[in-house]
Amino acid sequence: MINNVLIEMRDITKTFPGVVALDHAQLTLRKGEIHALMGENGAGKSTIIKCLTGVYERDSGEVHMEGVEGNIYNHSTMDAQNIGIATVYQEVNLCPNLSVAENLFIGREPKTKLGTVDWKTMNRKARKIMDDLDIPIDVTKTLDNYSLAIQQMIAIARAVDMDCRVLILDEPTSSLDDNEVEKLFKLMTDLKNKGVGILFVTHFLEQVYAVCDRITVMRNGTFVGDYSVQELPRVKLVAAMLGKDFDDLAAIKAEGHSSFSDEVVVEAEELSHKGTIKPFNFKIHKGEVVGVTGLLGSGRSEMVRCIYGADKPTGGKLSMHGKELKAKAPIDSIRAGMGYLPDDRKADGCIGELSVRENIILALQARNGVFKRIPIKEQNRIADEFIKMLQIKTASRETPINQLSGGNQQKVILARWLCTHPDFLILDEPTRGIDIGTKTEFQKLVLEFAKQGMSVIFISSEIEEMIRTCTRMCVMRDGQKVGEISSEEGAMTQQAVMGAIAGGEK
């Protein structure tokens, strides 16, 4: 036996109707280490964590924890908390209607001598916690006043403050910026030095190599291996996750950007939306892939929402195929041949209770109108076609979409737009939170569509990804389009793009 083992999970099996989510998986976490849990979407990372924290109950297998007798069965998050396992999930699990302080302390509020909630102490303690993290906010205000990133930090602060021995962070960094990630890493290192075992799930390879000590790799619900960071360089890690030799990204580059015709598909003149985006000009040709880049909040999403009509433009002119388009609502844009994959797939895209098939068919049906129902046979054909084409991992086309992993949900939403055969497709952060293998596939797909004559706007936080796929990039800063970089002059390099985003000063 290895020393210092804090948690040992062995032979964990968990099945959902039609899917084996975990097949004899295992996980070992030691004291005072940061342990990365890696795998593609749908590899079972979240499932094994939820089996540990009591959100799911495992079908079989053993869980042991140092200092706790016997085989542990957590029936609820409360049970897990009681033995010192605290968790921060990818989605912020806090109550938007309560104050920041309450969110930090609910379920374990400080009490006065009479046993009532001691608001003064609670607010004071909360203020101290947030100050320690260098996040100066008003803790008495309700949570929904703050950005997602701050909410995520509050969730982490809550977990940390509970004197946990095991801290599980399930993709906590996907909504944080670099500065906040750094704060988080500092916090994690502090905890590690205090002997806390940290389980860290992330898709960012750099982050793994920046803070982690050990890596457990999972694939398709099974355990692949437990390695120390030193013995597993990036290439090997990716290979282990994918289970095959890594389909090199360079292959895409070699293919090059597809050529496009001179036919203008969408043109915006002085289009603007009051309060979010200043007037901008934009033009996209048939078969062209254009990137929109800029920092989070620079107006990237707002720009495409304005073109799509999700936010009704307050000024300017938008034309499609040379004809002026007066979109009052997204449905007009859909009818004109646009498609839009929003960045917040949870809130704007997926309808969780509906099946994969229904989610795919949604936009097509909406375009045709309610009264021209698509025959079920046709629906099945379309659904099957896209499940195959995009390699969506689902038990069947009738599986509710919320049983799918994040990356696969994203593919379903993509299929929704593809089946309407749009002339113009907007992809807002289509690759966020999905693993590197799927990302590559996504990029290939985008180029494939462009070749077939579709015009695509592609937004991503990863500049490299955009350089590989786009022919042109629009640079946004502070709600304004500040420039365009074209690949033709060979000017589209990471430095050039970063420079443009930063405003040429850095």
Partner 1 sequence: MNKKVLDRLNGNTLLLVITICLFFFMYIIGCIVYSGKGFTHLQTFLNLLITNAGLICVASGMTCVMLCGGIDISVGSLVAMDCMILAYGMGKQNLPCIPLILMILVIGLIFGAVQGFLIGYMKIQPFIITMAGMFFARGMTAVICTDQISITDTTNKLFYTWANFKIQLPAFLGYINKKGKLQVPFIRISVIIALLVVAATFFLLKYTKFGRSLYAVGGNQTSAAMMGLDTRKIKMKAYILSSFLCSIGGICYCLNTMSGSVQQASGFEMDAIASSVIGGTLLTGGVGNVIGSFFGVMITGTITTLVNTNGKLLSSWANIATAALLCFFIILQSVFAYVKNRSK
CB of 44 to partner 1, least distance (A): 20
Q: Quick one: which segment of 72-80, 171-179, 321-329, 370-378 binds partner 1 (CB under 8 A)?
A: 72-80
CB of 309 to partner 1, least distance (A): 18
Q: Is the CB of 53 or the CB of 333 nearer to partner 1?
A: 53
Residue 78 as a binder of partner 1 (CB under 8 A): the answer is: yes
Residue 311 as a binder of partner 1 (CB under 8 A): the answer is: no
How many Cβ atoms sit within 10 Å of the Cβ of residue 115?
7
> Cβ distance 289 to 469 under 8 Å?
yes
SS3 state at 346: helix
Sign of CA dihedral 497, 503, 504, 506: negative
What the block records as the tokens of 166 is 């095991």
Q: Considering only residues 60, 76, 228, 261, which one is a binding residue for partner 1 as defined by CB under 8 A?
A: 76
Residue 408 to residue 394: CA distance in whole angstroms: 8
CB of 96 to partner 1, least distance (A): 6
Number of residues that bind partner 1 (CB under 8 A): 28
**With b meaning 16 or more CB within 10 Å and e meaning fewer, what string describes 248-285?**
eeeebeeeebbebeeebbbbbeebbbeeebbbbebebb
Show the site string, 27-56: x = touches partner 1 by CB under 8 A, - = not: ----------------------------x-
Residue 402 as a binder of partner 1 (CB under 8 A): the answer is: no
Q: Considering only residues 26, 41, 46, 81, which one is a binding residue for partner 1 as defined by CB under 8 A?
A: 81
What the block records as the tokens of 231 is 């013995």
Amino acid at position 417, single letter: W
Residue 308 as a binder of partner 1 (CB under 8 A): the answer is: no
Site residues (CB under 8 A) for partner 1, limited to 95-134: 95-98, 102-103, 106-107, 109, 115-117, 119
DSSP state of 459: E
Q: Quick one: which segment of 86-94, 228-236, 425-433, 444-452 binds partner 1 (CB under 8 A)?
A: 86-94
Residue 349 to residue 504: CA distance in whole angstroms: 36
CB of 166 to partner 1, least distance (A): 15
- Closest Cα partner for 485 from 256, 294, 259? 294
Distance set, CA 69 to CA 375, 428, 443 (Å): 58, 49, 49
Q: Which residues contact 427 (CB under 8 A, 6 or more apart)?
A: 341, 414, 446, 456, 457, 458, 459
CB of 170 to partner 1, least distance (A): 11
CB of 184 to partner 1, least distance (A): 19
Q: Is the CB of 250 or the CB of 347 nearer to partner 1?
A: 347
DSSP state of 257: P
Q: Considering only residues 145, 261, 281, 494, which one is a binding residue for partner 1 as defined by CB under 8 A?
A: 145
Radius of gyration, alpha carbons of the chain: 24
**Residues lying near partner 1 in the complex (CB under 8 A):** 55, 76-78, 81, 87, 89, 92-98, 102-103, 106-107, 109, 115-117, 119, 144-145, 147, 158, 275
